[in-house]
A and B are shown apart, each in its own frame.
Chain A
Amino acid sequence: MSTRTQPPTPPTRPTRRGTSQPPAARYRVARWVGVGVLVALVVAVIAVVLRDPATTDPAPGAGDGAVVAPSGLGADGSILIGDGPVTVTIYFDYLCPACGAFEEANGETLEQLLEAEDVTVDLRPISFLDRLSEGTEYSTRSANALATVVDSAPDHAWSFHRALYAHQPPEGAEGLTDEQLASIARDVSVPVQVTELFAERRHEAWVAEQTAQAFDSGVTGTPTILVDGEPFTGDPYQPGSLAAVVERAAP
């Protein structure tokens, strides 16, 4: 740090004039204080970096860390909606704006395809955007809420899923509270006994596990859409793009 070109200064100088010029000693003290602060900051940076792996491990939530999968799941943890011949798998994070754009473009199409019993929607909620909700872990909490509804009121899972997107909070803000999530769920007829469970966050570890599995299976971002296991290659943000592919895949 110290790249001084001047030799150390004697504390008193014969050339000093007037009182407006503070003695050099004061600056030397200031320098040592500065160096001290600098060292403290460097130590703090190193400490934070070294401590980091421990703090970014699965967030300490209300759950005790045990993986509790919701009941009624399909193979490898899929949340299956409907019973059509073509399976549309969607990996998503409720905080991801691109997932919201996908829902906006194709949500209605999926709804119609479900009603016509043409598709089975395979929902894969993951939570990798937790850091973008000001520490409130919105991704995890919203995915946990969906899992809770799937577990206890599966008939409302699809409408709750869509309602969550209709109320999607922006990235970098606090997201919705558990109470707001419950209110959204009640608006789509999820019973109060079920919405009361959101705050327990009992499926949190399951969500974390699903997220890790998704990434292990090659998912690199959201939304990732598969049609009968094959990557959807159309423009996910183009209304109707999905319908064409589903029609082609239909037997």
Chain B
Amino acid sequence: MTAQATRSGVVGGTSGRATAPSRIRGSWLAMLFWSAASLTAAFVLATEAVTLAGDQEATFGCDINAVVSCGTVGSSWQASVFGFPNAFLGLVTEPVVLTIAAAGLAGVRLPRWMMLTAQVGYTLGLALAYWLLYQAIFHIGAVCPWCLLVTVATTFVFVEMTRINVLEGHLPLPRRARRFAEELIHHRLDLLATAVWLCGVLLLLVTRYGSALLG
């Protein structure tokens, strides 16, 4: 789990023990940044949801700019899967992730059970984020800028968290799978895969909504 395992992720004679903390530091920082971004978006969306609930009449109606409209998305049933606006979930969970990232950045070694719980919780969050994106694109027919920020930020937080958990040896992976994951991370294929994935999502969006998304 320790010296031997980290060495396998590092090639070219550099000592794994020396470089691992700095590599993870970058991930903690990225996690901090993206969870803050996600929290901001959740805050905006929660505010809108509250406004929308109190002012049905003003927002009901079909707006000509509905391609990128939070009114259309926000008033759909998918916007409150659990009976309350989804953004509230972000308001509750992102501060926890933010705190974990800040602690990690400060050099605190969090216990394995905590990081694993965070990983499981965030994986569910990621699934929800992409289910919502799917619903927005294919069923609601409208997307909103803040919802897209949540999707992107959630993706990055998930990738960085997973990266940390792989490098720290938290994930209960078989030896070979773990080594493979470390190799992928070492060669930055994780970031590349994320970039390819997000570009794919962007391509889907522009194909469906055209430049209305950007303007």
Binding site for B on A (CB under 8 A): 1-7, 9-10, 13, 15, 20-22, 24, 27-28, 30-31, 34-35, 37-38, 41-42, 44-45, 48-49, 52-53, 55-56, 93, 96-99, 101, 128-129, 131-132, 171-172, 215, 219-223, 235, 237
Q: Is B109 an interface residue (CB 8 A)?
A: no
Cα A27 to Cα B188 with chains together (Å):
9
Of B60-68, B91-99, B100-108, the stretch lying at the interface with chain A is B60-68
* One of A10, A22, A128 near B64 (C-beta < 8 A): A128
Cα A7 to Cα B183 with chains together (Å):
15
* One of A3, A28, A99, A220 near B187 (C-beta < 8 A): A28
The reply to whether B188 and A31 contact each other, CB–CB distance below 8 Å, is: yes
Contact string, B169-198, partner A, CB cutoff 8 A, digits 1/0? 000000010010001101111011101100
User: Residues of B contacting A215 with CB < 8 Å?
Assistant: 64
- For the complex with contacts A5-B19, A172-B140, 10 further pairs of A-B residues with Cβ separation under 8 Å are A1-B192, A3-B191, A4-B188, A13-B11, A27-B186, A34-B192, A38-B192, A48-B203, A48-B206, A221-B63
* One of A1, A2, A131, A220 near B63 (C-beta < 8 A): A220
Q: Is B117 an interface residue (CB 8 A)?
A: no
Contact status of A53 and B199, CB under 8 A, knowing A20-B176, A22-B183, A221-B64: no
The reply to whether A220 and B199 contact each other, CB–CB distance below 8 Å, is: no
The reply to whether A172 and B57 contact each other, CB–CB distance below 8 Å, is: no
Q: Is B22 an interface residue (CB 8 A)?
A: yes
User: Residues of A contacting B63 with CB < 8 Å?
Assistant: 220-221
Chain B: minimal CB distance from A242 (Å): 15
Q: Count how many chain B residues have C-beta atoms less than 8 Å from C-beta atoms of the other chain.
A: 46
Chain A: minimal CB distance from B24 (Å): 12
The reply to whether A48 and B195 contact each other, CB–CB distance below 8 Å, is: no
User: Residues of B contacting A24 with CB < 8 Å?
Assistant: 11, 187
Q: Which residue of A lies closest to B57 (CB)?
A: A235
Q: Is B145 an interface residue (CB 8 A)?
A: no
The reply to whether A129 and B189 contact each other, CB–CB distance below 8 Å, is: no
User: Residues of B contacting A28 with CB < 8 Å?
Assistant: 187
The winner among B62, B63, B189 for most chain A CB atoms within 10 A is: B62
Q: Can you pick out 8 interface pairs between chain A and chain B where the beta carbons lie within 8 Å of each other?
A: A1-B191, A6-B19, A27-B186, A45-B199, A172-B138, A172-B139, A221-B61, A237-B60
User: Residues of A contacting B191 with CB < 8 Å?
Assistant: 1, 3
User: Residues of B contacting A129 with CB < 8 Å?
Assistant: 62, 66
User: Residues of A contacting B186 with CB < 8 Å?
Assistant: 6, 27
Q: Is B23 an interface residue (CB 8 A)?
A: yes
The reply to whether B183 and A27 contact each other, CB–CB distance below 8 Å, is: yes
Chain A: minimal CB distance from B5 (Å): 12
* One of B8, B14, B179, B210 near A52 (C-beta < 8 A): B210
Chain B: minimal CB distance from A218 (Å): 11
User: Which 3 pairs between the two chains have the least Cβ-Cβ distance?
Assistant: A41-B199, A96-B62, A52-B210
The reply to whether B141 and A45 contact each other, CB–CB distance below 8 Å, is: no
The reply to whether B207 and A41 contact each other, CB–CB distance below 8 Å, is: no
Contact status of A53 and B62, CB under 8 A, knowing A31-B187, A45-B199: no
Chain A: minimal CB distance from B134 (Å): 12
* One of A13, A31, A45, A235 near B12 (C-beta < 8 A): A13
The reply to whether A38 and B195 contact each other, CB–CB distance below 8 Å, is: yes
